[in-house]
Amino acid sequence: MSNNNTLKPIFSKENYLLMIIGGIIILAGIILMSGGKSADPNVFDKKQVYSTTRITVAPILIMLGLVVEIYAIFKKGKTA
C-alpha cells in the first residue's frame, strides 16, 4: 500500500513572472503619485500637487498592476 501523493506547486514560473510584473507596475504608480520634492516647502504649488501624473496616470497604473496581479493568481499553469 504505497501512497504516491506528491505535492505540486500552486503557481508556475509564468504566474510568478506576471506577479513580479504587476508589482513593478504598482510600484511605478506609487512612485509617480509621490512625485518630486518642492523647491520651497513653505509655498503651495497647485500645479505640482494636482498634476495629471499624480491625479490620473498614477492611479491608473496602480489599478492596472492590481488587475495583472489578480490575473496572475487565477491563471492556470501549463500541465506537463
Which tens digit of pLDDT belongs to each residue from 20-78? 999 999 999 999 998 777 777 788 878 888 888 899 999 999 999 999 999 999 998 76
- Higher-pLDDT residue of 42, 14: 14
What is the DSSP secondary-structure string of 15-79? HHHHHHHHHHHHHHHHHHHH----S-TTS--HHHHT-HIIIIIHHHHHHHHHHHHHHHHHPPPPP
Q: How far is CA 46 from the centre of its chain?
A: 28
> pTM of the prediction?
0.80
Q: Report domain extents, the chain.
A: 19-35+44-74
* Contact yes or no for 19/62 (Cβ under 8 A): no
Give the pLDDT confidence score for residue 4 in this predicted structure: 65
- The amino acid at residue 22 is G
